[in-house]
Amino acid sequence: MKAAVIYNANEAPKYEEFSDPVSAGENEILVSMRAVAIPNFEKGLASGKHYASSANTVPRIPVTMGVGEMKDGTHFFGVGIGGVLAEKALFNKAQMIRVPDGLDSVTAAAIPNAVVGSALALLFRANLKSGDVVLINGATGFTGKLAVQLAKHYGAKKVIATGRNQEQLEELLELGADEVISLKGTPDEISRKIRVLHEFDPIGVVLDYTWGKPAELILNALQGKGKFTPVTRFLTVGSTAGDSINLSSAILRSSGLSLMGSGVGSLPADALRQLFSVVLPDVYALAAAGKLKIDTVSARLADVETDFYKEVAASKRLVFEI
Protein backbone atom coordinates (compact mmCIF):
# COMPACT_ATOMS: atom_id res chain seq x y z
CA MET A 1 0.00 0.00 0.00
CA LYS A 2 0.99 3.66 -0.34
CA ALA A 3 1.64 5.53 2.88
CA ALA A 4 3.27 8.55 4.49
CA VAL A 5 6.47 7.20 6.02
CA ILE A 6 8.71 8.90 8.58
CA TYR A 7 12.40 8.02 8.43
CA ASN A 8 13.68 11.04 10.36
CA ALA A 9 11.68 13.13 12.86
CA ASN A 10 13.38 16.25 11.52
CA GLU A 11 12.03 15.68 8.02
CA ALA A 12 8.56 15.53 6.46
CA PRO A 13 7.08 12.08 5.79
CA LYS A 14 7.83 10.45 2.42
CA TYR A 15 5.18 9.03 0.05
CA GLU A 16 6.25 5.41 -0.35
CA GLU A 17 5.24 1.76 -0.41
CA PHE A 18 4.72 0.22 3.02
CA SER A 19 3.60 -3.23 4.12
CA ASP A 20 -0.15 -3.65 4.67
CA PRO A 21 -1.27 -3.79 8.32
CA VAL A 22 -2.45 -7.19 9.55
CA SER A 23 -5.15 -7.57 12.20
CA ALA A 24 -4.05 -9.51 15.28
CA GLY A 25 -7.58 -10.16 16.55
CA GLU A 26 -11.25 -9.17 16.58
CA ASN A 27 -10.49 -5.88 18.35
CA GLU A 28 -8.33 -4.65 15.47
CA ILE A 29 -10.44 -3.55 12.50
CA LEU A 30 -8.87 -3.19 9.06
CA VAL A 31 -10.18 -0.17 7.15
CA SER A 32 -9.43 1.67 3.94
CA MET A 33 -8.50 5.20 4.97
CA ARG A 34 -10.46 8.06 3.41
CA ALA A 35 -9.49 11.23 5.31
CA VAL A 36 -6.81 12.16 7.87
CA ALA A 37 -6.56 15.58 9.56
CA ILE A 38 -3.26 17.19 10.56
CA PRO A 39 -3.70 19.41 13.64
CA ASN A 40 -0.69 20.87 15.43
CA PHE A 41 -0.89 18.00 17.92
CA GLU A 42 -0.13 15.45 15.17
CA LYS A 43 2.66 17.61 13.76
CA GLY A 44 4.18 17.76 17.22
CA LEU A 45 4.00 13.99 17.66
CA ALA A 46 5.52 13.38 14.23
CA SER A 47 8.43 15.77 14.88
CA GLY A 48 8.95 14.63 18.48
CA LYS A 49 8.32 18.16 19.77
CA HIS A 50 5.02 17.52 21.61
CA TYR A 51 5.26 16.61 25.30
CA ALA A 52 3.31 13.41 24.62
CA SER A 53 5.81 12.24 22.01
CA SER A 54 7.77 9.11 22.72
CA ALA A 55 10.86 7.60 21.18
CA ASN A 56 9.30 5.90 18.15
CA THR A 57 11.02 3.47 15.86
CA VAL A 58 11.55 4.30 12.20
CA PRO A 59 10.34 3.86 9.58
CA ARG A 60 6.81 4.53 10.84
CA ILE A 61 3.49 5.93 9.63
CA PRO A 62 2.36 9.14 11.40
CA VAL A 63 -1.00 10.38 12.71
CA THR A 64 -3.10 8.65 15.35
CA MET A 65 -6.69 9.02 14.05
CA GLY A 66 -8.80 9.48 10.94
CA VAL A 67 -11.80 8.34 8.92
CA GLY A 68 -11.80 4.94 7.25
CA GLU A 69 -14.20 2.89 5.14
CA MET A 70 -15.40 -0.60 6.02
CA LYS A 71 -15.97 -3.34 3.45
CA ASP A 72 -19.71 -2.55 3.46
CA GLY A 73 -19.03 1.06 2.47
CA THR A 74 -19.81 2.65 5.84
CA HIS A 75 -17.40 5.27 7.15
CA PHE A 76 -16.04 5.33 10.69
CA PHE A 77 -13.84 7.72 12.62
CA GLY A 78 -11.33 5.78 14.65
CA VAL A 79 -8.10 5.77 16.62
CA GLY A 80 -5.39 3.76 14.93
CA ILE A 81 -3.31 0.90 16.20
CA GLY A 82 -0.22 2.40 14.67
CA GLY A 83 -0.28 5.28 12.19
CA VAL A 84 -3.23 5.96 9.87
CA LEU A 85 -1.85 8.30 7.19
CA ALA A 86 -1.90 5.51 4.61
CA GLU A 87 -4.22 3.71 2.22
CA LYS A 88 -5.03 1.13 4.92
CA ALA A 89 -4.93 1.11 8.72
CA LEU A 90 -6.05 -0.78 11.79
CA PHE A 91 -8.62 0.82 14.10
CA ASN A 92 -9.11 0.01 17.75
CA LYS A 93 -12.64 -1.45 17.87
CA ALA A 94 -13.31 0.24 21.23
CA GLN A 95 -12.44 3.67 19.80
CA MET A 96 -14.55 3.89 16.67
CA ILE A 97 -17.70 5.82 15.82
CA ARG A 98 -19.80 5.69 12.69
CA VAL A 99 -19.83 8.85 10.60
CA PRO A 100 -23.50 9.85 10.17
CA ASP A 101 -25.16 10.19 6.79
CA GLY A 102 -24.87 13.73 5.51
CA LEU A 103 -21.40 14.32 6.96
CA ASP A 104 -18.50 14.08 4.52
CA SER A 105 -15.30 12.28 5.48
CA VAL A 106 -13.09 15.38 5.31
CA THR A 107 -15.23 17.28 7.83
CA ALA A 108 -15.60 14.17 9.99
CA ALA A 109 -11.81 13.80 10.12
CA ALA A 110 -11.26 17.47 10.95
CA ILE A 111 -13.58 17.62 13.96
CA PRO A 112 -12.38 15.11 16.63
CA ASN A 113 -9.04 16.63 17.66
CA ALA A 114 -10.76 20.01 18.04
CA VAL A 115 -13.50 18.37 20.11
CA VAL A 116 -10.86 17.11 22.54
CA GLY A 117 -9.47 20.65 22.82
CA SER A 118 -12.86 22.33 23.16
CA ALA A 119 -15.77 20.10 24.22
CA LEU A 120 -13.79 17.86 26.59
CA ALA A 121 -12.03 20.88 28.08
CA LEU A 122 -15.33 22.68 28.66
CA LEU A 123 -17.25 19.68 29.99
CA PHE A 124 -14.68 17.68 31.95
CA ARG A 125 -12.06 20.20 33.07
CA ALA A 126 -13.95 23.50 33.28
CA ASN A 127 -17.18 21.77 34.37
CA LEU A 128 -19.15 24.26 32.29
CA LYS A 129 -22.57 24.99 33.73
CA SER A 130 -25.62 26.40 32.01
CA GLY A 131 -25.58 30.17 32.47
CA ASP A 132 -21.78 30.50 32.73
CA VAL A 133 -19.98 33.38 31.05
CA VAL A 134 -17.13 31.95 28.95
CA LEU A 135 -14.09 33.78 27.60
CA ILE A 136 -12.28 31.98 24.77
CA ASN A 137 -8.80 33.35 24.25
CA GLY A 138 -7.42 32.73 20.76
CA ALA A 139 -10.87 31.97 19.40
CA THR A 140 -10.00 32.70 15.77
CA GLY A 141 -8.11 29.41 15.42
CA PHE A 142 -9.82 26.21 14.24
CA THR A 143 -10.34 24.75 17.73
CA GLY A 144 -11.25 28.11 19.27
CA LYS A 145 -13.84 28.68 16.58
CA LEU A 146 -15.44 25.33 17.39
CA ALA A 147 -15.25 26.11 21.11
CA VAL A 148 -17.31 29.28 20.62
CA GLN A 149 -20.05 27.30 18.88
CA LEU A 150 -20.03 24.44 21.40
CA ALA A 151 -19.96 26.71 24.47
CA LYS A 152 -23.29 28.16 23.34
CA HIS A 153 -24.59 24.66 22.55
CA TYR A 154 -23.72 23.57 26.11
CA GLY A 155 -25.60 26.46 27.69
CA ALA A 156 -23.16 29.34 28.13
CA LYS A 157 -25.06 32.56 28.81
CA LYS A 158 -22.42 34.72 27.16
CA VAL A 159 -19.32 33.97 25.10
CA ILE A 160 -16.47 36.48 24.85
CA ALA A 161 -13.96 35.78 22.07
CA THR A 162 -10.46 37.19 21.63
CA GLY A 163 -8.17 36.98 18.62
CA ARG A 164 -5.96 38.88 16.22
CA ASN A 165 -7.81 38.27 12.94
CA GLN A 166 -10.54 40.94 12.68
CA GLU A 167 -12.38 39.16 9.86
CA GLN A 168 -12.56 35.99 11.92
CA LEU A 169 -13.67 37.92 15.01
CA GLU A 170 -16.56 39.37 13.03
CA GLU A 171 -17.50 35.89 11.82
CA LEU A 172 -17.49 34.64 15.42
CA LEU A 173 -20.25 37.15 16.21
CA GLU A 174 -22.35 35.28 13.65
CA LEU A 175 -21.40 31.91 15.17
CA GLY A 176 -22.45 32.66 18.75
CA ALA A 177 -19.94 35.06 20.31
CA ASP A 178 -21.60 37.92 22.18
CA GLU A 179 -18.49 40.07 22.55
CA VAL A 180 -15.17 40.11 20.69
CA ILE A 181 -11.87 41.68 21.73
CA SER A 182 -8.99 42.25 19.33
CA LEU A 183 -5.60 41.18 20.65
CA LYS A 184 -4.08 43.83 18.39
CA GLY A 185 -5.09 46.50 20.89
CA THR A 186 -2.68 47.88 23.49
CA PRO A 187 -2.21 45.83 26.67
CA ASP A 188 -4.11 48.47 28.67
CA GLU A 189 -7.02 48.43 26.20
CA ILE A 190 -7.28 44.64 26.26
CA SER A 191 -7.09 44.37 30.06
CA ARG A 192 -9.56 47.22 30.57
CA LYS A 193 -12.16 45.65 28.26
CA ILE A 194 -11.89 42.30 30.01
CA ARG A 195 -12.03 43.91 33.46
CA VAL A 196 -15.18 45.88 32.58
CA LEU A 197 -16.92 42.80 31.20
CA HIS A 198 -15.88 40.74 34.24
CA GLU A 199 -17.16 43.36 36.69
CA PHE A 200 -20.49 43.63 34.87
CA ASP A 201 -21.08 39.88 34.44
CA PRO A 202 -18.38 37.69 36.06
CA ILE A 203 -16.46 35.35 33.78
CA GLY A 204 -16.84 31.79 35.02
CA VAL A 205 -14.62 29.99 32.51
CA VAL A 206 -11.57 31.04 30.49
CA LEU A 207 -10.53 28.64 27.72
CA ASP A 208 -7.05 29.71 26.64
CA TYR A 209 -5.38 28.64 23.39
CA THR A 210 -2.51 31.16 23.36
CA TRP A 211 -0.84 31.30 26.81
CA GLY A 212 2.01 33.81 26.65
CA LYS A 213 1.31 37.56 26.81
CA PRO A 214 -2.45 37.38 26.03
CA ALA A 215 -2.95 35.00 28.96
CA GLU A 216 -1.00 37.34 31.22
CA LEU A 217 -3.30 40.23 30.27
CA ILE A 218 -6.42 38.19 31.05
CA LEU A 219 -5.06 36.99 34.38
CA ASN A 220 -4.10 40.55 35.33
CA ALA A 221 -7.63 41.71 34.46
CA LEU A 222 -9.10 39.06 36.78
CA GLN A 223 -7.05 40.19 39.80
CA GLY A 224 -9.17 41.08 42.81
CA LYS A 225 -9.11 44.30 44.80
CA GLY A 226 -9.44 43.02 48.33
CA LYS A 227 -13.10 41.98 48.11
CA PHE A 228 -14.75 38.61 47.69
CA THR A 229 -14.58 37.60 44.04
CA PRO A 230 -16.46 35.04 41.93
CA VAL A 231 -14.84 31.74 40.97
CA THR A 232 -13.18 31.71 37.55
CA ARG A 233 -11.86 28.45 36.10
CA PHE A 234 -8.92 29.27 33.81
CA LEU A 235 -7.87 26.43 31.48
CA THR A 236 -4.84 26.52 29.24
CA VAL A 237 -5.23 24.27 26.20
CA GLY A 238 -2.52 25.63 23.90
CA SER A 239 0.50 27.89 23.77
CA THR A 240 0.55 29.61 20.38
CA ALA A 241 1.84 32.85 21.95
CA GLY A 242 4.57 31.25 24.07
CA ASP A 243 5.12 28.43 26.55
CA SER A 244 5.63 30.55 29.68
CA ILE A 245 4.12 33.55 31.46
CA ASN A 246 4.87 35.93 34.33
CA LEU A 247 2.28 35.36 37.04
CA SER A 248 2.08 37.41 40.22
CA SER A 249 1.19 35.57 43.40
CA ALA A 250 -1.19 38.45 44.19
CA ILE A 251 -3.42 37.48 41.26
CA LEU A 252 -4.09 34.06 42.74
CA ARG A 253 -4.37 35.30 46.33
CA SER A 254 -6.78 38.12 45.48
CA SER A 255 -9.24 36.25 43.30
CA GLY A 256 -11.35 33.13 43.10
CA LEU A 257 -9.15 31.95 40.25
CA SER A 258 -8.58 28.26 39.60
CA LEU A 259 -5.71 27.70 37.14
CA MET A 260 -5.38 24.38 35.31
CA GLY A 261 -4.64 22.77 31.96
CA SER A 262 -6.53 20.48 29.64
CA GLY A 263 -4.86 17.97 27.35
CA VAL A 264 -3.30 14.53 27.10
CA GLY A 265 -2.54 13.54 30.69
CA SER A 266 -4.91 15.93 32.46
CA LEU A 267 -8.24 14.77 31.04
CA PRO A 268 -9.88 12.04 33.14
CA ALA A 269 -10.26 8.56 31.67
CA ASP A 270 -14.04 8.95 31.71
CA ALA A 271 -13.76 11.92 29.36
CA LEU A 272 -12.09 9.80 26.70
CA ARG A 273 -14.72 7.08 27.11
CA GLN A 274 -17.51 9.60 26.73
CA LEU A 275 -15.79 11.16 23.72
CA PHE A 276 -16.85 8.12 21.68
CA SER A 277 -20.14 7.28 23.39
CA VAL A 278 -21.65 10.75 23.91
CA VAL A 279 -19.63 13.84 23.01
CA LEU A 280 -18.43 13.12 19.48
CA PRO A 281 -21.77 11.62 18.33
CA ASP A 282 -23.47 14.81 19.51
CA VAL A 283 -21.00 17.08 17.68
CA TYR A 284 -21.19 14.92 14.55
CA ALA A 285 -24.98 15.24 14.61
CA LEU A 286 -24.70 19.04 14.83
CA ALA A 287 -22.25 19.09 11.91
CA ALA A 288 -24.39 16.75 9.79
CA ALA A 289 -27.37 19.04 10.40
CA GLY A 290 -25.38 22.05 9.20
CA LYS A 291 -25.32 23.67 12.65
CA LEU A 292 -21.53 24.02 12.89
CA LYS A 293 -19.14 26.01 10.71
CA ILE A 294 -16.11 23.84 9.89
CA ASP A 295 -13.47 25.07 7.42
CA THR A 296 -10.94 22.68 5.88
CA VAL A 297 -8.13 22.62 3.32
CA SER A 298 -7.69 19.35 1.40
CA ALA A 299 -4.46 17.74 0.25
CA ARG A 300 -3.50 14.49 -1.54
CA LEU A 301 -1.59 11.69 0.15
CA ALA A 302 0.84 11.72 -2.79
CA ASP A 303 1.82 15.28 -1.82
CA VAL A 304 2.51 14.49 1.84
CA GLU A 305 6.19 15.43 1.68
CA THR A 306 5.41 19.00 0.62
CA ASP A 307 2.07 19.44 2.41
CA PHE A 308 2.37 17.70 5.81
CA TYR A 309 3.91 20.77 7.46
CA LYS A 310 2.23 23.28 5.14
CA GLU A 311 0.95 26.38 6.87
CA VAL A 312 -2.78 26.94 6.37
CA ALA A 313 -5.01 29.67 7.79
CA ALA A 314 -5.33 29.21 11.56
CA SER A 315 -9.13 29.02 11.21
CA LYS A 316 -8.89 26.00 8.88
CA ARG A 317 -7.79 22.38 9.27
CA LEU A 318 -5.54 20.58 6.78
CA VAL A 319 -6.99 17.20 5.80
CA PHE A 320 -5.42 14.56 3.55
CA GLU A 321 -7.94 12.80 1.30
CA ILE A 322 -7.07 9.21 0.47
| pLDDT value at residue 49 | 78
Q: What is the mean pLDDT of the segment spanning 146-152? A: 98
The pLDDT score that the predictor gives to residue 55 is: 54
Residue 48 carries which DSSP code?
Answer: T
* Whole-angstrom distance, CA of residue 39 vs CA of residue 114: 8
Across 176-191, average pLDDT: 97
| pLDDT of 183 higher than 70 | yes
Average pLDDT across the chain, whole number: 95
d(CA 289, CA 107): 13
Helices (H) and strands (E) in the chain, counts: 11, 14
- pLDDT for position 266: 93
Distance CA 199, CA 237 (A): 25
Give tens-digit pLDDT for 281-306. 999 999 999 999 999 999 999 999 99
| pLDDT average, residue stretch 254-262 | 96
Question: What are 192-239's pLDDT values in tens digits?
Answer: 999 999 999 999 999 999 999 999 999 999 999 878 789 999 999 999
DSSP classification of residue 20: P
Q: What is the structure's pLDDT at 45?
A: 86
Please give the average per-residue pLDDT across 159-182, as a whole number.
98
pLDDT of residue 80: 97
Burial (CB < 10 A; 0-12, 13-18, 19+), residue 80, is buried
pLDDT given at position 311 = 94
The whole-number pLDDT of residue 290 equals 97
CA dist., res. 76 & res. 303, Å (int):
24
Give whole-number Cα distances, 242 to 136, 249, 254, 286, 302, in Å: 17, 20, 25, 33, 33
User: Is the CA virtual torsion 192, 218, 275, 316 positive or negative?
Assistant: positive
For position 54, what pLDDT does the model report? 66
Whether residue 86 contacts residue 3, with contact meaning beta carbons closer than 8 Å, is answered with yes
- How do residues 47-94 score in pLDDT, each as one tens digit? 877 776 665 688 999 999 999 999 999 999 999 999 999 999 999 999
Alpha helical stretches, state H, 255-316: 269-274, 280-288, 304-307
Q: Verify cis geometry, omega within 30 degrees of 0, for the bond prior to 59.
A: yes
Handedness of CA 272, 273, 278, 284 (dihedral sign): positive
Largest distance between two CA atoms of the chain: 66
Alpha carbon distance 125, 237 (integer Å): 11
Domains of the chain as residue ranges with CATH:
2-113+293-321 (3.90.180.10), 127-261 (3.40.50.720)
Mean pLDDT of 107-118: 98
How many Å apart are CA 265 and CA 271, to the nearest integer? 11
